[in-house]
Amino acid sequence: MTSSNYSGVRVNRSDKWLDIVLIFVVSIASLLCLAPMVHILALSLSGNSAIMAGKVTLIPLDIDLTAYKAVFGNAQMIRSLGFTIGMVSLFTVIAMTMTVMAAYPLTKKNLRGRDFFLFVIVVTMFFSGGMIPEYLNVKNLDLLDSVWALVLPGAINAFYLLIVKTFFSSIPSELEESARMDGASQFRVLLSIILPLSLPVLATISLFYAVGRWNGFMDALLYITNSNLYPLQLRLYEMVMNSQVNSMLEGIGTIAPVPESLKAASIMFATIPILLVYPWLQRYFVSGMMIGAVKG
């Protein structure tokens, strides 16, 4: 008995030390991931002299909001922000609708050709047509210089589709069978049972779709030539790569910020909106998928 108790104490102590080590490692990794963003924030808030002297690290020096005044006073940046928010919202809705409508039938064992469809979907995760065929496809569909060129080509991600399909498959079939016995159609079962129980995975995949679309700029670089349709990331890409900052300094009555400060402020301007989405969806990440459901 004593030996058993002693063994149990040893296990508990080892688990405690393992937790401490894991917390320490995760904390260090989190700080390393957070440090670049804190540095960018410090640059965006610092004065010219401190930046040019290379003194700015993680703490702003000589607080100066001129860079933010230049960014928020630039009509092109504001237009790109509004366009990007609308485009990302449209993309997320279409992508989630198509992903759910494709994933749900694939959970049915009696679906003819299910294995073939799954094979085709998995193949697209490893092989693609390439940049030139994709561009020609978008061009032949007359989607160039339109918001649809940024929405439709990437509306379904095969990996996300398989995640949603696997989640749907884990929901007890008894729930669906009882609804079908009550006369519910497949569409009714999907809306009333499957989707409410799948909020955690739907919220997570929606966030992945939104973040991926928000951060994307390569397709816009290829398909969009109308500056009014530039998403925010493409605008930021051009600024960082080409140092096109002179137009943003017009109308600023104070001393113009150095390019590094302006770039940093633009990066924060493009990053903060998508970061605000995380707290709103956080509760779905930790909630159970079967709260209130009883397997019969």
- Domain that includes residue 12, residue range: 2-52
Q: How many CB atoms lie within 10 A of CB 223?
A: 20
Number of domains in the chain: 2
Handedness of CA 234, 155, 86, 136 (dihedral sign): positive
Indicate whether 44 and 76 sit together in one domain: no
CATH number at residue 210: 1.10.3720.10
| DSSP per-residue letters across 74-99 | -HHHHHHHHHHHHHHHHHHHHHHHHH
Residue 188 lies in a domain: yes
Residue 267 lies in a domain: yes
Residue 112 lies in a domain: yes
Residue 60 lies in a domain: no
Residue 57 lies in a domain: no
Indicate whether 39 and 76 sit together in one domain: no
Question: What per-residue confidence (pLDDT) applies to 296?
Answer: 37
Q: Angle at the Cα of 271 (from 268 to 275), degrees rounded to 5? A: 125
Which residue positions in the chain have pLDDT lower than 70? 1-12, 240-258, 281-296
Report residue 211 as tokens: 């973040």
Indicate whether 221 and 169 sit together in one domain: yes
Question: What per-residue confidence (pLDDT) applies to 88?
Answer: 94
DSSP code of residue 191: I
For residues 85 and 145, the answer to whether their CB atoms sit within 8 Å is no
Per-residue pLDDT tens for 202-249?
988 998 899 899 988 888 999 999 888 999 888 888 776 665 555 555
Indicate whether 135 and 96 sit together in one domain: yes
Question: What per-residue confidence (pLDDT) applies to 2?
Answer: 45
Residue 295 lies in a domain: no
Indicate whether 11 and 149 sit together in one domain: no
Looking at the chain, list the stretches that DSSP marks H as alpha helix, in order from N- to C-terminal side. Answer: 2-45, 48-52, 66-72, 75-103, 114-126, 131-140, 148-151, 158-170, 173-181, 186-189, 195-197, 199-215, 218-223, 232-242, 259-275, 277-286
Question: What per-residue confidence (pLDDT) applies to 214?
Answer: 92
Question: What per-residue confidence (pLDDT) applies to 63?
Answer: 85
Indicate whether 42 and 80 sit together in one domain: no
Question: What per-residue confidence (pLDDT) applies to 8?
Answer: 47
Indicate whether 45 and 189 sit together in one domain: no
Residue 8 lies in a domain: yes
- CA 90 → CA 78, 85, 110, 135, 147, distances in Å? 19, 9, 33, 21, 10
Tell if the pTM clears 0.85, that is, is over it: no
Indicate whether 46 and 151 sit together in one domain: no
Indicate whether 24 and 96 sit together in one domain: no
Indicate whether 276 and 207 sit together in one domain: yes
Question: What per-residue confidence (pLDDT) applies to 248?
Answer: 55
Handedness of CA 68, 73, 79, 80 (dihedral sign): negative
For residues 224 and 230, the answer to whether their CB atoms sit within 8 Å is yes
Indicate whether 21 and 75 sit together in one domain: no
Indicate whether 81 and 11 sit together in one domain: no
